[in-house]
Amino acid sequence: MWLWAGFIVLVLVVLAIDLGVLNRKAHVVSIREALIFTVGLFVLAMGFNVLVYFLYANQWVGLGTQVDKIDGVANTGVLAAVKFFTGYMVEIWLSADSVVVMAMIFHSLRVPPKYQHRVLFWGILGALVMRGAMILVGARLIARYHWLLYLFGAFLVFTAYRMLVAKEDDGNIEDGLVVRWVRKVFPVTPAYHEQRFSILQDGRRMLTPLAVALILVETTDLIFAVDSIPAIFAITTDPFIVFTSNVFAILGLRSLYFALAG
């Protein structure tokens, strides 16, 4: 448990530096700033991969002692490092389409560029919690019912087919189901109030359009996680490798968005 706790502390430190130091004030994130943060996270991920190698090579805290159900062997240092890197790259590429959807969300809701970082920061924090829960449940289910991997594989083929034959959408997000539901359940202000997600108006708590954007970002990640989580379970069923590679990929998603958007 101390290893998992240590990794979560590392993630919290990265997020604290991001929000509390680099982006303490609302501003438009430049391409240079986004690229530096992206490269920095990649270097951090590769440094962590070296640690993964030694953890599994020396079987510290029991890592590498259990058989991986994907290939039927226990993960050695080299195998664990290769699977971490593979999972990390796969998750980055599977998250690239969500970057496009984020751009559509911000464009449709006319989110000011200097407030977009705040939305993505809390959106990614929520994504980490949701994906952690999904990975935990998925690992438990696969450990008990190995045949679920075939269902995951069939689902990936199905989603690929749907993407292949899908008709073009007009991209009108404001008329979407989620936005209509939010506006029906919660009162939403017509204008932005700096970087606040809610305000107190006439004695009533109201959401701002920034909160609507955050809900859409969280919903988008949840939808994309449904196919990205099964994809990484096709690489390894080791929960530590699955979780850590997923987290590093998600951490770089925000800066990747600003680099591509710029």
Q: Tens digits of per-residue pLDDT, 188-239?
A: 999 999 999 999 998 899 999 999 999 999 998 888 887 788 888 889 999 9
Residue 255 near residue 37 (C-beta atoms within 8 A): yes
What is the residue-averaged pLDDT of the chain?
89
Other CB atoms within 10 A of residue 114 CB: 14
pLDDT at 170: 58
Distance of alpha carbon 149 from alpha carbon 155, whole angstroms: 10
Band (pLDDT 50/70/90 cuts) for residue 150 is confident
Percent of the chain surpassing pLDDT 90: 45
Who contacts 44 (Cβ-Cβ below 8 Å, separation ≥6)?
14, 248
pLDDT at 169: 62
Q: What is the pTM of this model?
A: 0.87
Per residue in 96-105, is it b (16+ CB within 10 Å) or e — as a string? eebbebbeeb
Q: Which residue has the tokens 């190995």?
A: 146
* Span 190-204, pLDDT tens digits: 999 999 999 999 889
Residue 212 near residue 123 (C-beta atoms within 8 A): no
